[in-house]
Structure formats: structure tokens, C-alpha cells
Structure 1
């Protein structure tokens, strides 16, 4: 009896191992992020998209799982030619997911998602070139490109229907000019800015010339007016001087001749090498030999007090024409006044 129990125990252990192996190969778990296909001898017999524990025939059925989440596909940079024949470099990014695992398996085979991306990229590129080739480059480079991206998505979605996938969105990540066109555009922009700067400098020089010309004309006008009025003042002063001389001569002609002779002596005899040749009894030396008192001849009619200069018409007080203020590093700020009617003018 004991030997029989030992035999049963020895047979039960391998049986339990076999049962465990069969149970393990018959069960599989589907994650909530996955979709599973049950293949029997290479043919799809079941599709499991609900997460949980599922069964299959051990050693006969095979389970293939695909990622059920939204996947991304960045495209390589490509050159497109819009409607205005202006070449652009475009980068795009597509978002897609598997919607029909059976059709997806039939389309891509055993390579799975990698093969799907290789077949999906040309579809997206053709859709980008087809849509962007119908619009001008300004529409592609603008900020509002939502309608263009929706058209690209719809075009790529219709062309990828046989792959068992759905293209959710296509986005244009970068849109720029080619390198050679970009350099030419920068050069043109620099030339345009240089031309605008030259125009501004020319306009500034023209305005400066106008200001200088107006200032020079004002200087000439003020100088001429000041010269004219100074001549008037000088003439009136000469008239007053002559009137004073006339009064002095009228009061005592001999005294007037005496002072005039002294002035002549001063002017003629100045300097270290002054030489004159004349007769000793010349009238030029008459006041050197005597004081001329014998020849004094006062006026017979008394001259009234004052002088002729006081009876001249007194000019109107001068009126300042313009006042200018300047400063100098050696002197403090001063003001020059140009008179509209200088002192002594009538």
C-alpha cells in the first residue's frame, strides 16, 4: 500500500508540472495600452482589444500585440514649391494610431509598426507637397496655417486607409527658405536698409545745408545793417566834433590855431628818426618861439553859452533790433544787441 502511494505521488508531480505549463501557454494578458491578435498557424482567429486575461490554444495559437496609443511620425525636411515658384523647406509631424489590427497585420506583415512608419512617411510627404503646391508661399509662411494642415491630414488619411490606421493630425513644425535663398534674402534686406539709411543721411544733409544757408544769410543781413548804422553814427559824431571845433574857433581863433599846431607837432615829431628840412623862420615853428599872446584876437561879439553841438537835433533813442546770447570758454555768457536806430541817428 505504501509503495502504491509513493508511485502515485511520483506520477502526480510531473502531471502537475505539465498542467501548469499548459495553463501558462493557454493564458495571456492584454494591457490597456495594447491591442492583441490571436494567430493560429499564421491566420488571425481572434482580436482582443479589451484589457484583461484571455485564453488561447497552447502550442498552437500565437499572440501578437500592437501599441494601441497615439504614435508620432516626424518627417525628414523636404523642399516644396508653392504656387508662386518660391522654394521652401518644410518639416512636418504626423500623429496616428492603429484602428484595425487585422488589416494592419495584413498590410505590414510581421515587421509591425516599423514597417507602418516606412509606408506612412511617403504618404504624408506626398500630401504635404500636393496641398502646399496649390497655395502661394505667403500662405505657407503665415501664422494661420490651420486650414492647410487640415487639408494635408485629410489627404494623407484618405491615402492610408488600407493600412488599418488613422492619421489624427499633421502639423508643420518649421517652414523656412533654403539656405541659398535665405542668404540672398538677407543680402537684399541689408541692401534695402543701407539704401534707406543713405536716403535719411541725404535728407539730413539737405536740411543742414538749408539751415546753414539761412544762418549765413542772416549773418550777412545783420552785418550789413550794423555797418550801415555804424556809418550813420560815425557821420553824426563827426558832425558833432566839427560843431565843437567851430565853437572853439569862434570863441578864440588864436587859441584854436595854437592847439592845432601842438597837435601837428605831436604827430610830426614822434618816432626816434624823425627828420624835417625847412627854414628856421617857418610858420610851422611860430608857437615854438612865442606863445602867440600878441596875436590873440578874441571875438568882438560874445559867443552864447554852450556850443553848436548842443543845438543839433537830438536823435531818437535807439531801438534794439535783435539780441543774441553766446558763451565762450574764456568769458561768461554775454548778449550782443543790434540797434534798429543807432544812437545819433535821426
Structure 2
């Protein structure tokens, strides 16, 4: 019984060993090729469980998902010979597994190196045909589309991969150029500020002069109106006094004499040289009698 168990265990181990050498699994996210002594005998193996001949066959698996190649920032010249620092990246995916393996031996590093060289050349040509404004904003999307289409054909024929997308993350000016650009921008802003300030001062002076003129006009008109109103008031008062005083001339004369007494005797230090029987003391003399 013990020998039977050992034999079964040995058989199971042999079967597991054989299965591990003859069976292989390709995942949904993978692409694979089967080699026979280094030569491709089956390419683009579909996901699932597959068989191979041990020793004779070898399976190479590759990632079938979209991969990213992040390039190092490079210096390019625009149409005006202005230098810019461009940071870009490429999205790519394996299109032909056999061609990818033949061109790169299945090494993504080699594929990224070749692709980086192609992208660098393409960006250099595209930037050299456009101005600074066009590469920054005006034709940036068109530039990326043209580069992707052109590079996709080359990548398929040479590497067996397809270019999904090419994008520029950022465009910077070199340090030696940035300072001069910022200085020019600062000078232009200061010039515009001076122009706006001078226009503001000119407008302020016009507003101030108009306000002063309106003040003089308003004061003159107000003084004229006040004098007219005062004249009308004095005329009305004089007319009223005239009508009242004509009703009793004696009382009016007496009233005016009292006002004269009050004005004369109310101030101190004045000296009058008048005869006692003058017309001025008319009503005072009557009181004594």
C-alpha cells in the first residue's frame, strides 16, 4: 500500500512537471508569440490556455495595453529661430507581435529608444516650420495630429506598434531667453501703464476744469437769482411799508424818530453837538412840556 502511494505521488509530480512544460496561459492583457529554436512559428497567440512542445518551443509574452513613453524635455528652434524647451509623451500599443519581437527582441526599452528618436526628429521638423505663437496656441493640436499620423506609419512598418496619441505637456523658454522675454514684457507693460496713466491725468484735468467752470456758472447763477429775489423782496417790503406809512404819517414820523434815538444813543463814546430846540429833539421836547 505504501509503495502504491509513493508511485501515485511520483506519477502526479511527473504529470505536473509535464503540464508546466507543455501548457501556458496568455492573459487578456497580453500578446504572445511561439518560437521554435528562436524562430517564430506562431504569432499573435490569443488569450487562453495553449500547448507547446517542451524544449523545442519557447513562448514570449508582451503587454498588449496602451503604454506610455515619457520623453525628456528637448530644445527645439521655431521658424523665427527662437529656442523652446518641449516636454512631450507618446501613447503606443503593440500592433504586430511578430514584427515587434523581430525589431526589438521584445524589449520595451529598445522600442522606447527608437520611438523617442523618431519623435524627436518629428517634433524638430514640426517646430521648425511654425512660429512661436503657432506652436504655443494657434496650431498646437494640428501639429500633434500631423506628427502622430506621420509617426504612426513609420512605427507600424519598423516596430510593429501603433501610435495612439502624442501630446506636449508643456513648452518653456530656456533660462537665457526667459529673462530677456520677461524684461521685454515688463518694459511693454510699463509703457502701457504710462500711457494709461497720462490719459487718465489728461481726462482728470478735463473733468476738473469742467467741474470748476460749472462751479463758477452755478455760483454766478445762484448769486444772480438771490439778488433778484432779494430785490423783489426789498421792493415788496418797501411797497408794504409805503402803504402802511401812508395810512398814518404822524405815526410813521414818530416811529422813525424813535429809531434815530436808538441808533444815536445806543452807542457809547459818540459826541453830538446839536441845539436843544432842533428838529431832532422834537418829540423829546414835547415830553418835557
Same fold (TM over 0.5): yes
Give the structure 1 partner of residue 210 of structure 2: 210
Distance in 1 of aligned mates of 2:40 and 2:172: 52
Distance in 2 of aligned mates of 1:240 and 1:13: 145
1:172 aligned to 2:167?
A: yes
Alpha carbons of 1:78 and 1:280: their partners in 2 closer, same or farther (altered >3 Å)?
same
Distance in 2 of aligned mates of 1:169 and 1:230: 94
RMSD: 4.5
| Higher relative contact order, chain-length normalized (CA < 8 Å, sep 6+) | 2
1:63 aligned to 2:68?
A: no
Give the structure 2 partner of residue 138 of structure 1: 133
Alpha carbons of 1:91 and 1:286: their partners in 2 closer, same or farther (altered >3 Å)?
same
Alpha-carbon contact 2:40-2:98 (below 8 Å) kept: no
Distance in 2 of aligned mates of 1:28 and 1:263: 136
* Structure 1 residue 152: Cα displacement: 0.7
Distance in 1 of aligned mates of 2:21 and 2:185: 67
In structure 1, list runs of 5 or more residues that go unmatched: 1-5, 294-346
1:74 aligned to 2:70?
A: yes
Give the structure 2 partner of residue 227 of structure 1: 227
Give the structure 2 partner of residue 126 of structure 1: 121
Alpha carbons of 1:193 and 1:175: their partners in 2 closer, same or farther (altered >3 Å)?
farther
Alpha carbons of 1:239 and 1:34: their partners in 2 closer, same or farther (altered >3 Å)?
closer
Alpha-carbon contact 2:29-2:65 (below 8 Å) kept: yes
* Structure 1 residue 127: Cα displacement: 1.3
Give the structure 1 partner of residue 90 of structure 2: 94
Give the structure 2 partner of residue 24 of structure 1: 20
Distance in 1 of aligned mates of 2:201 and 2:252: 71
SS of 1:119's partner is helix
Distance in 1 of aligned mates of 2:30 and 2:260: 133
Alpha carbons of 1:154 and 1:292: their partners in 2 closer, same or farther (altered >3 Å)?
same
Distance in 2 of aligned mates of 1:257 and 1:26: 150
Distance in 1 of aligned mates of 2:205 and 2:261: 62
Distance in 2 of aligned mates of 1:205 and 1:12: 111
Give the structure 2 partner of residue 33 of structure 1: 29
Distance in 1 of aligned mates of 2:28 and 2:237: 119
Distance in 1 of aligned mates of 2:277 and 2:8: 181
SS of 2:152's partner is helix
* Structure 1 residue 153: Cα displacement: 0.9
Distance in 2 of aligned mates of 1:9 and 1:243: 154
What TM-score comes out, normalization by structure 2 length?
0.69
Distance in 1 of aligned mates of 2:211 and 2:236: 37
* Structure 1 residue 53: Cα displacement: 4.2
SS of 2:24's partner is strand
Return the index of the structure with the highest Cα Rg: 1
Encode CA deviations 1:52-89: one digit per residue, 9 max, x unaligned. Answer: 44444423443222223332223334444433455555
Q: Structure 1 residue aligned with 2:272, among 261, 276, 293?
A: 276
What TM-score comes out, normalization by structure 1 length?
0.60
Alpha-carbon contact 1:107-1:162 (below 8 Å) kept: no
Count of residues in correspondence between the two structures: 281
Distance in 2 of aligned mates of 1:145 and 1:55: 50
In structure 2, list runs of 5 or more residues that go unmatched: none
More helix by share: 2
